[in-house]
Amino acid sequence: MENTVKKRLAVAPMMEWTDRHCRSFHRTLTKDAVLYSEMVTTGALMHGDVPRHLDYSQDQHPVVLQLGGSEPNDLARSAELAQQWGYDEVDLNCGCPSERVQRGAFGACLMAEPSLVADCVKAMRNAVDIPISVKHRLGLDSMDAASSEKDYQFALDFILAVADAGASQVTIHARNAVLKGLSPKENRSKPPLRYEVAAKLRLDAQKQFPNLKVLLNGGLETNEQIAGHWDDFDGFMIGRAAYHFPAMLLGWDDLINTHGDAAGYLFSETEWHRIQIALVKQVQNWFDECRAKEKPFYIGAFTRHVLGLAHGRAGSRYWRQRLSDHHALAKVQSKAAIADFFLDASLTLGDWAAFELETDN
């Protein structure tokens, strides 16, 4: 029965990184993976520019809006906006350890208030028809769920509370959040990873909520690593590795459809050409959108997400330099110039990287 259910592979929500352009690029690499937005605070949606935060191109589905907040009514209204804008799911951030986020009373510090988080989930669940999920940590500060029964129960009680409130999925970042004394960057590496604890939490949570999906997040860097934990979780969320080495996403559809058996991928000349042509078309569509809305166009907002694609190939350093040259980027102000820019950049990798673009305009 286990192998009949397809598991979820997802690119994690990452501030300043998983914006609409990044998600469109990632969608050229994988059809089946789930893409998450950057975290958007309820305050930004209640008092800010909603289209700026929520607008995206329709090629991105399935796409999840991650929210940051701790006020049930505001989260409910924000979830309603997410549904109106066509997002497939809403995820509540209970894992970010940033002190700036803590001052806003959301993120990882919410793990200490499971009843409040449950109220937040319930409010969103009652407001919308789309699924509600929660991303969280294994514990807080010096807790040790691996050796302390009390600390393990803390994590399990949190998961049970949000599941009981209506969350259909939790994503466990399998290390603690240290709320004082570590930077967000240090929080991604210093607290030890405890995959075995996360796996046990899944089993124990599903005894009471058999339909709850439990995803693993934290420290996963290769498709082989993901495949190695395939049977222990309902899916996997990958952050920085997926962003810095996006070619790994080329193997995700096969990984999903073979139930974890196919961990490799072939990054061929044909695949390179397909991706470059897709990028040209995406950026040209965005150029048209900017012109229609009388907004400034800057191709660098898109190319900054693509820099890791040629990782390991001869000439990749020159390719990255070309895609990061602000003077050259600023000059790209027509659809023809967009195509020429990507073609010229590709040629720094060698003749094999040249692609032909069929133009209909």
Q: Is the dihedral of CA 150, 153, 157, 159 positive or negative?
A: positive
Please give the pLDDT value at position 357: 84
Please give the pLDDT value at position 180: 79
Q: What value does the mean pLDDT of the chain take? A: 93
Please give the pLDDT value at position 100: 59
Give catalytic residue positions: 96
CA pair distance 287, 269, nearest whole angstrom: 27
Provide the whole-model pTM: 0.94
For residue 266, the one-letter residue type is: L
Q: Are 310 and 350 in contact (CB under 8 A)?
A: no
CA pair distance 306, 289, nearest whole angstrom: 20
| In 228-301, beta strands by DSSP E | 235-238
Kindly state which CATH superfamily the domain 8-258 is placed in: Aldolase class I (3.20.20.70)
Residue boundaries of the structural domains of the chain:
8-258, 269-346
Place of tokens 């709850």: 212
SS3 for 349? coil
Residue ranges for the chain with pLDDT beneath 50: 1-2, 361
pLDDT, one tens digit per residue, over 336-349 is 999 999 999 999 99
Nearby residues of 279 by Cβ (< 8 Å), 6 or more positions away: 25, 28, 302, 306, 342
Beta bridge partners of 136: 94, 172
Place of tokens 């059809």: 31
**In a 10 Å sphere around its CB, with 0-12 CB exposed, 13-18 middle and 19+ buried, how is residue 101 labelled?**
buried
Q: Which two tokens stand for residue 252?
A: 């995700």
Which of 16, 112, 14 has the alpha carbon at shortest distance from 70? 112
Where residue 229 falls (left for φ over 0; alpha for ψ -120 to 50; beta otherwise) is alpha
Please give the pLDDT value at position 96: 80
pLDDT, one tens digit per residue, over 72-106 is 999 999 999 999 999 999 999 998 876 655 555 67
Where residue 294 falls (left for φ over 0; alpha for ψ -120 to 50; beta otherwise) is left
Kindly calculate the radius of gyration of the chain based on its CA atoms and give it in whole angstroms. Answer: 21
